[in-house]
Amino acid sequence: MNKIIFFQKCSINNIYFLFFLLTSLIEIIIKYNNEVFRSHIDNQSNFSYYFSYRILNLYLSIICDFLMIIPFFIRKKILNRNKVNEKVEIKNSDINSFEKTEKNQLIYNNTIIEHSNKRKKLIIINAIIIGTLDFFNIFSLMTYNIIFPSKLTYIYNFNSTIPLSIIFQFISSYLILKTNFYKLQYFSLFLNTIVFIIIFIIDLINIIYNNSFDGYFLLFYSLRLIILSVEYAFSKKILLYGYISIYLLLVMRGFIKFILSIILSLIILLIKKEIFIDIGIFLKGTKNILFFFLNIFTYFFEVIFLWLIIDRFSPNYTPFALILKHISDYTIETIYDPEINFTNIMGWDIYFRIFLCIISFIGVLLHNQIIIINICGLGSDTKYFLDLKVESEQLYSDTEDPEILKRFETAIEFGDKSEKSEDDSIIV
């Protein structure tokens, strides 16, 4: 084929990425207009103040998970309405069609009864895993502050965690979901590994010579990324094999986090109860309460759109959401504090890091076959080329055109890749 680069057609589901970006922008705007949040940034060395902020975020995430019961019931109502319409259609159909449909439904129901216990067990086990992982995702940064109470939990945008998160997600999906890696996927993984090494070296220079952020925080943040990538992979597994909606899964996740947060809260209450007193600072006054509810609202929709991306696509698409979030954070931070992205860094490296993150973004496009490169056989195993091959074989079996048949009759046309067909729609 003459073309080197191919682009897959866009899907209507791609709109969820736009919605995720918008909610991320709104979320960071709300935070930067919240005086308590801004003072939190300036007072992170205060352990009690910081830890109470993290505890409040844990409670906020649990509330948002429980609120998923609303879209769950809405979806259930829509499905029940569709079932009623189907029954009406069956009644209006002929007798033979009705008997056939009834028989198929009976077989289907018997299958459900047969596997229901196994399915419920699978759902419960995976929900416990997902809820526990999400809890430790939040608790991992709390642990850092416990070990290093006087350190700042800050890291600038477009750092080495972007390609690292992409690598973790690809590997997690490969191990847990048993996804296949072909030439294009290996090339994407190699590309992101190279980008990670380069940005990581720049980060180390900034840490050692410019004291940009604490190097230990990078380790704990990387641990958090591992937890998130595993959580997303397990979530997709249960969505594929557990016959459960994302909303019910999120409610179950919130219930597991609620149990773990009670245990954590009791421990904190016995050791350092001042933490809960400081939580009141973030909820003091009508304005702060309003900001808290706005945070619930934005976080609620941000979670929905992220999980819709996982449900409609795969966890390997979540790096798009991560990069979009970094873009929104960088944009708002630059507007509200133009010097924040140039403080304690070399200066020129921020643009170089942005460029490398764009390369990582392209790597994700390649991995998910949104962009296909037809060089050195990289695209030979992709769905795009395999579909074209099927179309070619179908054309051969259906056509009576002697010119088309002649192309398929020689071994050269089938085996010699150096011979190119005049018709680019035929793969030989």
pLDDT in tens, 228-285: 999 999 999 888 887 788 999 999 999 999 999 999 999 988 888 888 887 877 787 7
The pTM of the full predicted model, rounded to 2 decimals, is 0.80
Q: Which of 341, 358, 359 is nearest to 350 (CA)?
A: 341
Instruction: Please give the Cα distance from 154 to 218 (Å, whole number).
Output: 9
Residue 373 dihedral angles phi and psi, to the nearest 5° = -100, 125
Residue 348, CA atoms < 13 Å, CB-side half-sphere:
1
pLDDT value at residue 102: 47
Tell me which residues of the chain have a pLDDT lower than 50.
94-109, 112, 388, 395-396, 405, 410-428
Is 146 in contact with 220 (CB distance < 8 Å)?
A: no
Instruction: Please give the Cα distance from 343 to 157 (Å, whole number).
Output: 12
Residue with tokens 């809960």: 276
pLDDT in tens, 287-330: 888 888 888 999 999 999 999 999 999 899 999 988 888 888 88
- In angstroms, what CA-CA distances link 139 with 209, 248, 325? 30, 23, 21
pLDDT value at residue 41: 52
E-state strands within 156-253 = none
Residue 371 dihedral angles phi and psi, to the nearest 5° = -115, 135
Instruction: Please give the Cα distance from 178 to 240 (Å, whole number).
Output: 12
Instruction: Please give the Cα distance from 298 to 28 (Å, whole number).
Output: 10
Is 369 in contact with 11 (CB distance < 8 Å)?
A: no
